[in-house]
Every structure is written in structure tokens, then in C-alpha cells.
Amino acid sequence: MFDVCIIGAGPAGMSAAIYACRAGLRTAVFEKAVCGGQMVNTPEVANYPGIAMTSGATLSESMRAQMLALGAALYTEEVLSVSGETPLSLKTASNEYTSQTLILANGAERRKLGVPGEERLMYRGVSFCAVCDGMFFRGKRVAVVGGGNTALEDALYLSGICEKVYLIHRRDTFTAQKVFADRVLSAKNIEILYNTTVTEILGEKKTEALSLKTADGDRKIDVAAVFIAVGLVPDNARFRGLVPLDSSGYIEAGRIRAQRAAVFLPRAIRGRKRCARSLRLRPTAPEPLWRLKNTCEDCDLFKPHMYPAGWSLARLSAAPRALYNRAARRTAVYRMPRSG
């Protein structure tokens, strides 16, 4: 029996584990892949307080080591279902665990284009991770699809190892931060294709070209690979029935208060209403921990003097593209601080 089980070991999940362990809670973390989530694929992290520059993989490993040193149990298993009230029952392919409370920090998956050739050529020139697969196409022409931070970061990374990078964006302006846009605009081997969408990925045994729809008509470009960075979709289908989901698959956080007092969650898998674009580090009381304490009725290890004034559960989760909401008082749903 655990006091709290955390599904997902991204920045939010590991931050929750660190603070839960420091509060004396018996803590288990479940991660089906690698610790760090989407942050692992980020080549440069330059906006984490106190660290001038690092990689997402390095920061993820530091968080993992800190979490384990504090006593969290890490299980490399996928939680397939959650049932019961209190305690909750978590089932994996080979084991079953019980917990007084649950934090859903399972994050999201990369959104696909949904065009012909995408599934057939997956991992044969169609990729969602420039850092992972970019070196396979060193010295070749590639394309990146998207206009946000991830897409521009991918284009910049690939511009250093590829002959040419086409940056394909469906709008006429980027949604990414200005610092990334400025760097892309100044890169000599990045060609930006505004108001353009991919209609088909071409190739027999591997990716060879893209069919595009532009404002001036149809066009074809020869590329060895296409890196897709058009957003994320929530990975919440397995929790349908446990928590209410909206039409997009996000959790309707406001309804959990009445239905699931033992379930807590960060912004990445919550509904989009009242959501923020980036993270704000602001002094907030550790309210989520106190709500966890109230839920774990058999746990008496919380002591006020253990926490410096102004610290919150999300204090260590300032990772790129981490999108959280402001903490809300007197609710069973945890909402991390937002950015302004």
C-alpha cells in the first residue's frame, strides 16, 4: 500500500514525487518509457532557474536521481487501468498496486498529421524526434512541420547537421517564442514555407518527397525525412470512467472535485479552459500536499516546519513547454502555477 502513486515521470511527475517523499509519504512512480517525458528530447534547456544551459536529458536524469535518492519507488511499467475508491487499485500487465491517492502526470503524445503515407513510412523517414533521429539524415534535405517552440527548435537543431531544412507552417506567423523565431529567420539553410500544409508523404520503402498545398497552388519537395511537431494529444483514454474527459480527451478538472477526491493532476492532461501558455514560478503555499495529507487519513508525517514559506509542489518543474495552471484553493484537483 502506497500513500500516493504517480503515473508519469516527466517533470511534473518527478517534482510531485520529490515533494511527496520529503513529506514522508510512501511514494511510487510509474513510467512506461524513460523519465523526463517530452523534455528528454529537448537539446537545450536555457530557461530553468539557476541553470544557464543544459540538455533535457541531463536535467531529466538529475531529477530522476534526486527522486530516487529521496526514497521514491520507480516502476518501469504501464498502468493499464485504475479502479476503486479509497484505496485505489492500479493494474499493470503483470502486477497490481494499491494507493490512498493518485496523481495523474502521464502527459501527452505527439499529434500526427493524418495524411497518406504517414503511417506507412513511420520510422522510415517520418519522425517526431529530431534529436533522436536527425543524425540518420546528416547532410541531407529534411522538413519540419509546425510553427511552435518544438518545431523551431527541431529546425534549428537539424540546420546544424543537414544540408537544408524546410520549415512548413500552416499560418503566416509563428506561435513560438521570439527568441526561436529570430534564430530561425537568421539561419541560412532554413527555408520557411508559410501558409503551407502537407497533403501526402511520398516514397516506396522510405520517405522521398512531400506533396504540399500552398497559397500559390500544389508543390512537391524532395526530402529524406519529415519531422512532425504540430502539438500534443492527451494520453487519457485509459482513465475514462475514472475521471471525466471532454470531447478532446482532456480531463475536466472542475468535475473531479465532487467525483474523485483522491485524484490529483497537473495541467498537461487537464482541459484547455483557463489554461496558460507557460509556467510561472511564484510563491505559493504547498496546498496540494496538505490536500494529500487530508486524503491520506492514516498518514501523520506532515510537519509545517518541513517546508519553507513560499514553496509549492511545482517548484522544480520549470521545463520547456511545461504548461500548468495556477494552484486553486480548497479543491481536490491540483493545478500548478501558470505563467504570465
The catalytic site residues sit at 129, 132-133
Cell numbers placing 55: 540538455
Minimal CA–CA distance to 230: which of 62, 110, 75? 110
Give yes or no for a contact between 302 and 24, defined as CB atoms under 8 angstroms apart: yes
Query: How far apart are the C-alpha atoms of 340 and 328, rounded to whole Å?
Result: 16
HSE, CB side, 13 Å, CA atoms: give it for residue 95: 9
The residues near 188 (Cβ < 8 Å, ≥ 6 apart) are none
The residues near 120 (Cβ < 8 Å, ≥ 6 apart) are none
In the chain, % helix, strand, coil (3-state, to 5) comes to: 25, 25, 50
Q: Looking at the DSSP assignment, which residues form a beta bridge with residue 142?
A: 165, 225
Minimal CA–CA distance to 55: which of 37, 67, 41? 41
Give phi and psi for 200, each to the nearest 5. Answer: -165, 145
Residue count of the chain, please give it. 340
Minimal CA–CA distance to 21: which of 40, 8, 6, 37? 6
Cell numbers placing 143: 522538413
Cell numbers placing 321: 513547454
